Amino acid sequence: MKTTLKWISNLMTWLLFVLLLVMVFLVISTKASGGEASLFGYQIKTVLSGSMEPEIKTGSIIAVAPAEDKTSFKKNDIITYVQEDGQLVTHRILEVLGNGEQVQYVTKGDNNKEADLTPVLSENVVAEYSGFTIPYIGYFTEYAKSQKGTAILLIVPGLLLLIYAGFQIWSALKVLDMNARKQLKNTEDS
């Protein structure tokens, strides 16, 4: 029983520590990259609309590869591009217009009835969808970007680790106190 409790205790310590490290990594990488985390050369983007459902669900995070040759995309590729208002959009290419350096892409969200009104200039393409998505985690990452979210995601795991460490110390002191009492009783009985 004691070995099981000790094993569970060690597991809890490591889990809390890993959680704290993951939260620190997410918050720092998100802040350092100007709002979007990056992992293994892929940018992590949050999808906040349902325009690409069912393939990409609202609230998902997706991994996108930064676009190197912005004129080489073809029909059915899914690209992320910057609109005139500065907002990022991830849609599927329906048609490629032009060639060489003068390329535009007609795009459409899979869940939209009509194609987007204006073609996307190749220089506005920032990335290509890699096919990797995790549903609903985007809500969490968006919250992590807020000041309140950043504070909570750094403080809560740290506090949990401190509380757990305090509990461990209290338990150890309790065992030491019991051992000291037993030893004192044994000395008195002798």
> Which residues carry out catalysis?
49
Residue tagged 């390329």 (tokens) = 103
* DSSP structural state of residue 147: H
Closest by CA position to 35, among listed 75, 73, 87: 87
Give the separation between CA 155 and CA 127, rounded to whole angstroms: 33
Helix (H) or strand (E) holding 29: helix 2-32
Give the separation between CA 188 and CA 190, rounded to whole angstroms: 6
Closest by CA position to 64, among listed 133, 119, 122: 133
Closest by CA position to 154, among listed 10, 31, 11, 14: 31
Give the separation between CA 6 and CA 4, rounded to whole angstroms: 5
What's CA 149's distance to the chain center, in Å? 13
Give the separation between CA 170 and CA 17, rounded to whole angstroms: 19
